Copies of this chain bind each other. A is one copy, B any other.
Amino acid sequence: MSIAVIYGGTRANGNTELLTERAIEGLTVDRIHLKEYTIRPIEDMRHDEKGFTELDDDYTAVLDRMLEHDILLFATPIYWYSMSGQMKNFIDRWSQTLRDKKRPHFRESMKTKTGYVIAVGGDEPNLKGLALVQQFQHIFGFMGTRYGGYVLGEGNRPGDILNDQVALHAADQLRSKLLQHGEKL
């Protein structure tokens, strides 16, 4: 079982990263920071005769790297009550991959994986972050990915998350789960 974190945040050592790193402490993990790549927004060409134009950016490289792993942690700060625009652009592009003849097994591959969501926000994340939780429920549901669980944390200023005992403990529990996944190798 190999693990990837897909980081959607834009601030180094932000609260989301602190919480996520606690969940993966001591584990071998591939950290994908979306902000380090150029991933352009999708252009919907599903119904275009010629299909999607391949965009010359980092998307497919990032996607292929993600697909190498069995456990996917989507870690994003809560921006305006959902995932960051950068993470959304990345996921929007999946529509293109679903029609990409070079990657015919995308959906099949996603069906074998387990996804988790880790999200930290400053405005009542345990209530106002639920739309994000449900959105991933639909995303994973569509792809057939198992929804392993989620951790919501509260934080605004850098380091705030360290005061959210419930979130920290949930991260610790997630770490235990990830270790068990590993033992199944």
Contacts and interface: CB of A to CB of B under 8 A. Distances in A.
Interface residues of A, number: 51
Contact of A42 (B85, B94, B133): B85
B134 A44 contact: no
Interface in A128-161: 128, 130-135, 137-139, 142, 147, 149-150, 157-158
A94 B134 CA distance: 24
Interface stretch (A18-26, A103-111, A162-170): A162-170
A133 B130 contact: yes
A149 B135 contact: no
Contacts of A44: 9-11, 14, 77, 79
Interface in A76-109: 77, 79-86, 88-89, 91-92, 94-95
A185 interface: no
Given A9-B44, A128-B138, 15 more contacts: A11-B44, A11-B47, A35-B43, A79-B95, A80-B88, A80-B142, A83-B88, A85-B88, A85-B89, A85-B91, A88-B89, A130-B134, A131-B131, A131-B134, A166-B170
